[in-house]
Structure 1
C-alpha cells in the first residue's frame, strides 16, 4: 500500500478509476487511461445508444475515432497506443521503494530468489542458477543477457515495447520521413509503399546528425531537470509564504476581535472564513503546480536513465530510436514548462480594517476585507535556451529551399503572391493580388488552372477537402476546387475582409471594424467576436485543438479563447510589421515579419523558439506562409514577387 501511495502522489492515477495506471492506453488527444477503464467508458456509451463516428475524450472532450461497427470495444481498446514512458515511470517509482527484484522462472514455482542478471530476449530476470543454465543450454546460450544494475535492467525490460509496432508487435524496420513515423515491414508495405522518403532504421542510425545530437539530448534533459527543480523550489517558497501571511493576518484579526462585542466577533469570524477560503484556493492551485513540476521531473529522470543505458549499449538502432522518442518528448516538456511558468502567479494577501468602525459599528456588515494582489512570478533564468533545444529536434529544421515562378502566360502584370493554402492531396492554391487571380498548382508546383476575380484575393484558407474560403475587398468567397475552380457562394459582412481561417468547417474572418465573424457550415453568421486590440491588416489562425485563436498585431501575436478573452500577448523583438501566420499540428506558431525579413517560430504559450527563416535562406520581405497537411513543407510568399520559396523540413 505504501508503494501505491507513493506512486499516487506522483499523479500516476487513471482519470477514470483514480487508481494507479494498469496497461495505460493513449487517445489521439494524448490523454491516458487504463485499457479496461476506457473500454468500459466506450461500452457505456454504446449501452446509452449513443451512435457516432467519434467519442469524446473523458478529460478534454476532444473527438476521437470510435470503434468501427464490426469491432468489439475490447478489440478497439487493445489496439490503442501504449503509453510506454508512463509504464516505465510507474515501474521505476515502485523500484525506488523496493530494490528487490526476483527471478521470474523461480517465482512461477513459488520461490523468491534474488535476480543477478536480465535476459533481454526472454524479458526475464534470472537468479544465479537460472543464469548459469541460461548460458549453457543450446536454445538460450545466444540470448542477450546483461548483468547490469537491477534498476537499469528493469528499465530495459519495461521499455522494450517502444521499439515495436503497436499494430503488429514487430520491430521497427523503417522510418518514413513523409509521415515522420517508424514502421515495421508489414506497415511499410501496407501504408508507406508510395512514400518517397522511406529509410531503414539501420541507415538512419548511421546518420551523424542523430549521433551528434544524442549527447546533447542527455545534457538538455539534465538542464531541463534543473529548470523544473528551480521552478519547484520557487513554488514551494510561495507555499510557505502563503502560510506565513495567513498567520500574520490571523493574528491581526484576532487582536481586533478580542476587544469587540459578540456581534463584532461574528464579523471577525466571517473575515477569517474569507481568509481561509482565499488561502486554501491559492494553496491548492500552487500545490497542483508543484505536483506538475514533480511529475515532469520524474518523467525527465526516467528518460535520462533510458538514454544513459542505451548510450553505453552497442545497439545503436535502439539508441537512435530512443533518442528520437525522447527528443519529441523534450519539446512537449518544454511547452509544459512554458505553460506552467506563464500560469504561475503569486498572490500577496493583506488586510485593511475600517478605522471608523467605532462610530458606525452597528452599521458594519464586516470587520474588514481580505485583499489580494497578483504578480507574475519573475522569470527564473532557464539554464538552457529554448532555441538550443529547438535546434536539436528532428523534423523541424528547414533544409535548402527551392523556388518556383507563379507567373503564368495569361498574366498581364508581375505577380504578387500574398497567401496560399495546401489541399489534402498536396496541391496548392495561391492568391495573386496583382493579377486578381486564384492559381492552382499540383504537388510538384506545375500550373493546373486559374480563376480571374473581380476583386484582388488577399487571404485564403481550406474549409474541407475540396473547399476554400477567400477574402477580398468586402467579400468572402467560397470555391470548390477540383481540376478547376467552381464558385459556390459569396458572403458580404459589410466591411473589408482580411485574415480568414476555419475549424470543423466553421469559417472565421477578420473584419476591418475590429471583429471576427464566425460562419457555420451553411455559411450562416453565428457569432461576432470583438478583437482585443485595434485593427490592422490582421492574419488569423486557430490552434489544432480548436481552443485558441492567434492573430497578428504590429510586432505582436495575440492569443485569445474562442469567446474572445485574451490569454496572452507576446511582443517579438526580432520581428517588425507582422504579416502572415500559420500553426502546425503540434500547435507551434509560424509568424512572418515583412520589414524584419524573417519567419519566427513560437511555442503555443508565446515563447520564441527560433528565427526559423531569414536572409540566410533567401528570405527578404515575407508577407505570407503556409504549411502542408503533413508538415514536411513550408511555403513562404514574398512581397511584390512572382517567386515562391519552398522549404522541405529535414
Structure 2
C-alpha cells in the first residue's frame, strides 16, 4: 500500500499529503516534490502514478519479504525465494576490516614518529660526540628502544590474513535466503630480529695510527699525460680529484682508482679541496685572484669567486668554512665564497704554500722549510722545523689528530703529534719529487703526486 505522506518532506520533518507514487524510487511525493522529480535529469523519465488510483491491497515494496528493512538483490528461481542483500553483509564486514586497518596505520605512524626522534638524537651524538658519549646516549635510550620493540611485537600479532567465505544455506525446507558471508581471519607471522642497538653496545674501535706505507701501483691515466699535479683531494663518495698546474686540467678517478675523465680549468689550478657533506669542491689558483667551485658529480665548474687580491695558494675546507692562504694572511670564507674574516700572519714574510685544518680546529700551513700551527683566531700554537724539512709541501691529518708533513727534497713524511712533537719519520724509496698527498676516507690508502707531479702513486698504509 502506498504511503499517505511525502517521503522527501518527511525527511525534513514535514508531513504534506502525497499525490504521486514513483515506481522506480518507491517513494510517495507531494505536489512540489513531484514537480522537482520531473525537473531532475536522473528522475525525469521515472513512472509516476496517482496515489488515489493505486489499489490498497497491492504491494509496491522493493524490500525483501523476510527482512522488510533490507532491499532484495537476488531471486532464486530454484527455491522461489527473494533473497535479502548479501551486499549488506559485505558492507558490514568491510567496515570492520577498515577500522582495524586504520588502527594499525595509526599505531605504525606513532611508532615511526617516535623512532625518528630517537634516531635524530643518536645521529647527532654519533656525528658530534665522543665514543663515550655515544655509548652513554645509546645506553640511556635502551628503555625507549625496548618499548618500541614491544610495540612492534604487538603490531605483528595484530596482523591477520583475511578471506571471505560464502556459507550456503543447505536447509531442505523452503529457503528464505541463499546463505551468508563470513570473514575468516588467520594470524600472520613475521620474522622479527631485534636490532643490535637494543643491547646498548657500541663497538670500540681504536684510532688508526699510520707507521708505514707500501707502494701498490701508479694510476693508469690512459692517454692523459700529467705534468705537475699540485693539488689533490678525495670526496665523501671516494672520488679522487687532482689538479695539474701545467696542463690546467682537473682529473677524476673513481673509488677503485680507475681514471674516469678530466675537465679544463679557466686558470692554473694550484690546490683543490672537497667540501664535506656535499658533492662540491673548491679550487685555488696560484696567480689568479679567484677560487672556482667544482660540481664533482657533473664534472663541471659552476662558478668562480673573486678574492681581494691575487696570488692565492693553499685551500682547505670544513663543513662551515673555506680557508685560503693569500701571501701573509689567511682568508676565511663561507661555503658560498663570501669573506667572513681575515687571519693576519705578521710573523711570516714568505709565501704560504699549503694549508690544512686539524680535527681540533687548529690551522696548519707550510712555509718552505717549516710548518706552523695556529688557532682559528690566529694565535700561534707551535712551529716545526727540521734539517730534513727543506721544502715542505702540504700537511694532512689522521683521525687521531696526528699531522703528516710531506717534504719535497728529503722525500720523506714527518709524523707529528697534535702539539707539534715529532713522532716518526716515514721514508719510502718509491718517492721521487713528491709534490702533494692525501689519505683515502678510511685512511687505508695514501695518494701521492709523485715523480715531480707526473704520476699519482697509490700506497697502502699500515
**Which deviations, in whole Å up to 9, do the C-alpha atoms of 1:1-24 show, x marking residues without a partner?**
xxxxxxxxxxxxxxxxxxxxxxxx
Correspondence 1:644 to 2:456: yes
Correspondence 1:545 to 2:360: yes
Match of 1:418 among 207, 217, 230: 230
SS of alignment partner, residue 140 of structure 2 = helix
Q: Distance in 1 between matches of 2:269 and 2:449?
A: 14
- Measured after TM superposition, the shift of residue 453 of structure 1 is 1.3
Match of 2:296 among 481, 484, 505: 481
Change (3 A) 1:591 1:610: same
**Which deviations, in whole Å up to 9, do the C-alpha atoms of 1:15-48 show, x marking residues without a partner?**
xxxxxxxxxxxxxxxxxxxxxxxxxxxxxxx9xx
1:492 matched residue in structure 2: 307
Change (3 A) 1:521 1:167: same
1:591 matched residue in structure 2: 405
Structure of greater Rg: 2
Asked whether the equivalents of residues 365 and 394 of structure 2 are also in contact (C-alpha less than 8 Å), the reply is no
1:409 matched residue in structure 2: 223
Change (3 A) 1:171 1:504: closer
Change (3 A) 1:588 1:630: same
Asked whether the equivalents of residues 479 and 489 of structure 1 are also in contact (C-alpha less than 8 Å), the reply is no
- Measured after TM superposition, the shift of residue 535 of structure 1 is 2.8
Q: Distance in 2 between matches of 1:518 and 1:485?
A: 24
The answer for unaligned runs of 5 or more in structure 1 is 1-45, 66-72, 80-164, 173-180, 183-323, 329-393
Q: Distance in 1 between matches of 2:454 and 2:220?
A: 5
**Which deviations, in whole Å up to 9, do the C-alpha atoms of 1:195-248 show, x marking residues without a partner?**
xxxxxxxxxxxxxxxxxxxxxxxxxxxxxxxxxxxxxxxxxxxxxxxxxxxxxx
The aligned runs of 1:316-355 (5 Å cut-off) are none
RMSD between aligned alpha carbons?
3.3
Change (3 A) 1:553 1:639: farther
Change (3 A) 1:427 1:56: closer
**Which deviations, in whole Å up to 9, do the C-alpha atoms of 1:394-448 show, x marking residues without a partner?**
752334212324645355xx42222210111211001111211000001122121
The answer for unaligned runs of 5 or more in structure 2 is 1-116, 131-135, 143-194
Q: Distance in 1 between matches of 2:375 and 2:220?
A: 36
Change (3 A) 1:559 1:528: same
Asked whether the equivalents of residues 213 and 428 of structure 2 are also in contact (C-alpha less than 8 Å), the reply is no
Match of 1:429 among 241, 247, 270: 241
Change (3 A) 1:511 1:53: farther
Asked whether the equivalents of residues 219 and 457 of structure 2 are also in contact (C-alpha less than 8 Å), the reply is no
Asked whether the equivalents of residues 435 and 453 of structure 2 are also in contact (C-alpha less than 8 Å), the reply is no
The aligned runs of 1:220-235 (5 Å cut-off) are none
Q: Distance in 2 between matches of 1:644 and 1:619?
A: 11
SS of alignment partner, residue 620 of structure 1 = coil
Asked whether the equivalents of residues 598 and 613 of structure 1 are also in contact (C-alpha less than 8 Å), the reply is yes
Asked whether the equivalents of residues 229 and 454 of structure 2 are also in contact (C-alpha less than 8 Å), the reply is yes
Change (3 A) 1:620 1:410: closer
SS of alignment partner, residue 401 of structure 1 = strand
Q: Distance in 2 between matches of 1:522 and 1:490?
A: 9
The aligned runs of 1:202-601 (5 Å cut-off) are 395-405=209-219, 407-409=221-223, 411=225, 414-464=226-276, 465-472=278-285, 473-474=287-288, 475-512=290-327, 514-531=328-345, 532-546=347-361, 548-601=362-415
Asked whether the equivalents of residues 430 and 440 of structure 1 are also in contact (C-alpha less than 8 Å), the reply is yes
SS of alignment partner, residue 377 of structure 2 = coil
Asked whether the equivalents of residues 419 and 626 of structure 1 are also in contact (C-alpha less than 8 Å), the reply is no
**Which deviations, in whole Å up to 9, do the C-alpha atoms of 1:322-365 show, x marking residues without a partner?**
xx96xx6xxxxxxxxxxxxxxxxxxxxxxxxxxxxxxxxxxxxx
Q: Distance in 1 between matches of 2:121 and 2:318?
A: 19
Asked whether the equivalents of residues 418 and 639 of structure 1 are also in contact (C-alpha less than 8 Å), the reply is no
Change (3 A) 1:416 1:407: farther
Asked whether the equivalents of residues 439 and 445 of structure 2 are also in contact (C-alpha less than 8 Å), the reply is yes
Asked whether the equivalents of residues 395 and 649 of structure 1 are also in contact (C-alpha less than 8 Å), the reply is no
Determine which structure has the larger strand proportion and give its number.
2
SS of alignment partner, residue 269 of structure 2 = coil
Change (3 A) 1:76 1:428: same
Correspondence 1:625 to 2:437: yes
Asked whether the equivalents of residues 220 and 258 of structure 2 are also in contact (C-alpha less than 8 Å), the reply is no
- Measured after TM superposition, the shift of residue 167 of structure 1 is 3.9
Determine which structure has the larger helix proportion and give its number.
1
Asked whether the equivalents of residues 398 and 647 of structure 1 are also in contact (C-alpha less than 8 Å), the reply is no
- Measured after TM superposition, the shift of residue 52 of structure 1 is 8.6
Q: Distance in 2 between matches of 1:168 and 1:508?
A: 42
Change (3 A) 1:649 1:169: farther
Aligned residue pairs: how many? 284
**Which deviations, in whole Å up to 9, do the C-alpha atoms of 1:170-194 show, x marking residues without a partner?**
999xxxxxxxx77xxxxxxxxxxxx
SS of alignment partner, residue 419 of structure 1 = strand
Asked whether the equivalents of residues 426 and 442 of structure 1 are also in contact (C-alpha less than 8 Å), the reply is yes
1:235 matched residue in structure 2: none
Q: Distance in 2 between matches of 1:56 and 1:443?
A: 28
